[in-house]
Amino acid sequence: MDELPCLNESHSLSPDKRPTSPSLTNGTSHPCSNTVHCCLAAQSSDSRADLPNDSISKCSSNNKNNLNEWIRLNVGGTSFLTTRTTLCKDPNSLFCKLINEDMSDMVTDGKDEKGAIMIDRDPTYFVPILNFLRHGKMVINKDLAEEGVLEEAEFYNVTGMISLVKERLRERESERRERPQGKKHMYRVLQCHENELTQLISTMSDGWDFEQVINVGSQYSYGSDDQAEFLCVVSREYSAPGPVSPPPPPPPPLPQQQHHHHHHHHHH
């Protein structure tokens, strides 16, 4: 790591030391042989200000062994393509060790036939980790559990991500603690005939939820006309603190004149 100051000294390169590659005009972009310093330099956002902006990107693109910048990981059978720069964003992370210690066998399970570094971890939970290293934001797909992401962030030791996920878990926990005292449910039971049921369901006013529909009667009555009777249990949330005037029940069922048209459809 003795060539670390490649970027900082780049201004003062003497002409004879200057690389011969024609695309480098004004010494700002020393094509560091080893790219790792580029990532280290690019890694903390505050130090970025005093580097010439383009030197960071040119550093990797003009690099003679540019293929070296791209790294393939095989996480639990899924292949990921990323760069040294991305993997080195967090200098404490497992990835940075992995690269700097020349892929030491301690950390990985060797390489697969494509030369990808194999890591025996869950690939779906690896996605938010890699994206965090790429752009610094925590985006967790809604079907992933935050606990699972935390587990991986801790395994790879991505410190920024660990604190963000913990923060989110804390928020979620405090929301959960406030919720039960804040909300109460009120229940209503409505009675209706079979042919009014759909009408009732479709006219339920906002805020009311169906809890249960109970079929009562008519399977034991012998009149050919009889329609099944239903009890509908509906509920509504309200906030506990103030005294609550119960909200009005859902709109009443339709008038009951169409009983006779439909009864044969419903005959069992």
Domains identified in the chain and CATH numbers: 70-178 (3.30.710.10), 184-218+229-234 (3.30.70.2000)
d(C-alpha 159, C-alpha 144), whole Å: 20
Q: How far apart are CA 157 and CA 141, in angstroms?
A: 20
- pLDDT tens sequence for the chain (268 residues): 555 544 444 454 455 555 555 544 444 445 444 444 444 444 444 444 454 554 444 444 444 455 578 999 999 999 999 999 999 999 899 988 887 765 555 555 678 888 888 899 999 999 999 999 999 999 998 889 999 999 999 999 999 999 999 999 999 998 888 765 656 788 888 888 888 888 887 777 777 888 888 887 655 555 555 667 888 888 888 765 555 555 566 666 665 554 454 455 555 5
DSSP lists the bridge partners of residue 192 as: 230
- What are 208's two structure tokens? 């009311």
State phi, psi for 117 to the nearest 5 degrees: -70, 125
Q: Which two tokens stand for residue 120?
A: 């025996």
What secondary structure does DSSP assign to 178-192, as a single string? HHHHHEEEEEEEEEE
pTM higher than the cut 0.75: no
